[in-house]
Structure 1
Amino acid sequence: MSLNSRAAYWKSLSTKVIGHRGSGMNRDASGGSNLQVGENTVLSFITAANLGAEYVEFDVQLTSDLTPVIYHDWTVTETGIDVPIHSLTKDQLREELNEELEKVLTHKKVPKKVKGNNAETIQAPFTTLAETFRQVPAHVGFNIEVKYPMKCEAQDAAVWSHVELNRFVDSILKVVYDLAGDRDVIFSSFHPDICLMLNVKQPSYPVFFLTDGGYYPYVDARCNSLQEAVRFAKHAGLLGIVSVSTLILQAPILAPAIKNQGLLLFTYGVLNNSVPCVQLQKQLEVDAVIVDSVMAVRKGLQDP
């Protein structure tokens, strides 16, 4: 499908629901919240689709042996020891995470961080991008967030990647082209150079620039305001931006301003779990919302 027809597809339909890390990111359940499905797992992706999500969003990084894996944080923290994802092979990462899963299942140990496998979640194993393509039904669309640390992030978390940008992007694209078939796929990233490469290296899948509008300051000016994000996405020929929803809800005039630039507008953030906030975004013709509360938001968007 050409990019033009994909753009028409998004614009011609009502606001779509994208499941955040599947059926929602893991939350601290110490306050008595309900049992959760582990984030960024095949079980979570299938659950989100069954609850009404047209797409699922997940985070992809590379291991030291260049395997694209699905994991949100820069480091594996379940054991209490911060180990960078890029320093482990796929098998080492699987062993590390599944060993923690075994400890949780046998009630020997509760992980120190809230992750996909912890005492408050329905357990599911770690997965790779390839396994996700093979195991999640083909009608479920994928919003693949490509995670590559900006310089300030790498310095703060001590996660300097050993993989050059081109090789990083190519490793992910190879899996996508080998296994995507007819599945709908879109890419997104907070890293502007990753967005540029994803857009230049392939003609098949739309690319979106993620932005928090400057909430966290970066050295790169393209990341430090919504205005710069729109300017960059337009100049780079991206299909749209994914903005934190707070900015759009605080200044609703921003939504038509962005869309008048010929860009699609997706949003993310905690306010997207509020049905009234999402209904307002529907009125503003926001093209998609990334949410944790898939079923509630889906129902809210269907209500007149």
Structure 2
Amino acid sequence: MAAALKAFHVSDVPYLDRVPEKPSLSLYSTRFSKGVEMNRAASCRMPNFLLIGHRGHGMNILQSSDSRMKAIKENSLLSFNTAAKFPLDFIEFDVQVTKDDCPVIFHDDVILSEENGIIFEKRVTELCLAEFLCYGPQKEGGKEGKCLYRKTKDGKFEKWNVETDDSLCTLQEAFQKVEPSLGFNIELKFDDYKVYQHDHLTHTLQIILQVVFEFARDRPIIFSTFQPDAAQLVRKLQNYYPVYFLTEGGTETYYDARRNSLEEALKVCLEGGLQGIVSEIKGVFKDPGAVPKIKESNLSLLTYGKLNNVPEAVYMQYLMGIDGVIIDFVEEISRTIWTA
């Protein structure tokens, strides 16, 4: 692994959604220290380095030529419990609150479906729970759900077809039906381009916290969000679970300057008493000097992004002192971490 690292450069990876078939967070110890049986001894693993499954077993990219990006429906109970079969510490998923105050798990701001040959969109937050759950496969036998679509980067609409589909689910169901030793990285999902009032943020976060406090039990929890006001507010509303600020690390530009660099993310964390940053890995590789600054501030640093599907890039982050990675190819990357 070290030999491969010497020849590795970020620019050497032109197709970031494809990887060959074989390729410390002090707040929590890994799930395996609690007696979960593994084929490898704990000493074989990179110490204090978290592995987090992105949207469970991995996100869906429908236009990808890599079949792993379309294997299992993301953000579903099936995806979560499939991820639990691998040596992960957490799974990451996105939570929004419906119009009738139920926290549900779904990444996109809008649901796309078809009616009379016309594609239409509805905001998840403007649906009641019953309407939200009527999309996709249905739990009731013999009942057919409304077809789901997704918009590709080139603006086309594509049916959300995956090899193994599953129903949409609520946050409560995830707590009740997912392997209890697996930690949850709950991303508090808000629209990137919408201005939220304090009262609305407070209400939404309180609804989510109510479910967490009732059903989490001993499960490790991390909150994260791109919305800086929500990040600081959820920290004020509770001090039991760590809160991380999500950032593109300067790889994207937003009207809110707090979202546009690792330096600004550090300020958000220090001002709000947060526990860490989750950055797009490209932002960290472009500004590696931010890593020691973040660590010197007693903050944890996690990363996400397509480069985290590249084993060499993950190993490089371990050497840099980064605390963990959010990954899509959970089988391949977890195997790499355990054998590095």
TM-score in terms of structure 1 length: 0.86
Report the residue type matching 1:25 in the other structure.
Answer: M
Give the aligned partner of residue 154 of structure 1.
194
Deviations for 1:279-302, whole angstroms, at most 9, x for unmatched residues? Answer: 000111211100101111112122
Q: CA deviation at 1:144?
A: 0.1
RMSD over aligned CA atoms reads 3.0
* Identity fraction in percent: 36
Number of the residue aligned with 1:90: 129
1:120 matched to 2:162: yes
Q: Is the 8 A contact 1:206 1:238 kept in 2?
A: yes
Aligned residue runs from structure 1 range 205-220, under 5 A: 205-220=241-256
Q: Any conservation in 2 of the 1:189–1:210 contact (CA below 8 Å)?
A: yes
Choose from 61, 67, 74 the match for 1:27: 61
Are 1:59 and 1:144, in contact at CA under 8 Å, matched by a contact in 2? yes
State the shift of 1:77 in Å.
1.3
Q: Following TM superposition, by how much is the alpha carbon of 1:82 offset from its aligned partner in structure 2, in angstroms?
A: 1.1
Which is higher, the Rg of structure 1 or of structure 2? 2
Report Cα offsets for 1:91-121 as digits up to 9, x if no partner: 011113347x999x89x97845579x83233
Alignment counterpart, residue 133 of structure 1, candidates 165, 175, 180 = 175
Report the counterpart of residue 267 of structure 1 in structure 2: 303
The answer as to whether partners of 1:86 and 1:161 remain within 8 angstroms in 2 is no
User: Which residue, out of 85, 89, 105, partners 1:70?
Assistant: 105
What is aligned with 1:143? 185
2:120 equivalent in structure 1 = 81
Q: How many residues align?
A: 291
Shift in alpha-carbon separation, 1:30–1:273, aligned structure 2, 3 A: closer
Match 1:16 to one of 40, 50, 63: 50
User: CA, structure 1 residues 73+102, in 2 after alignment: closer, same or farther (shift >3 Å)?
Assistant: farther
CA displacement, residues 251-284 of structure 1 (integer Å, 9 cap, x when unaligned): 4333222111111000000000000000000111
CA contact (8 A) 1:41 1:127 kept: yes
Counterpart contact for 2:263–2:290, Cα < 8 Å: no
Q: Which sections of structure 2, spanning at least 5 residues, go unmatched?
A: 1-23, 31-45
Structure number with higher helix proportion: 1
User: In structure 1, what is the equivalent of residue 222 of structure 2?
Assistant: 186
Please give the alpha-carbon distance, in whole angstroms, between the structure 2 residues aligned to 1:109 and 1:248: 38
- 1:218 positional shift: 2.1
Task: Show the counterpart of 1:239.
Answer: 275
Q: Distance in 2 between matches of 1:204 and 1:110?
A: 37
Classify the secondary structure of the residue corresponding to 2:84. Answer: helix
Change in Cα spacing, 1:102 to 1:189, as seen in structure 2 (3 Å) is: farther
TM-score, normalised with respect to structure 2: 0.78
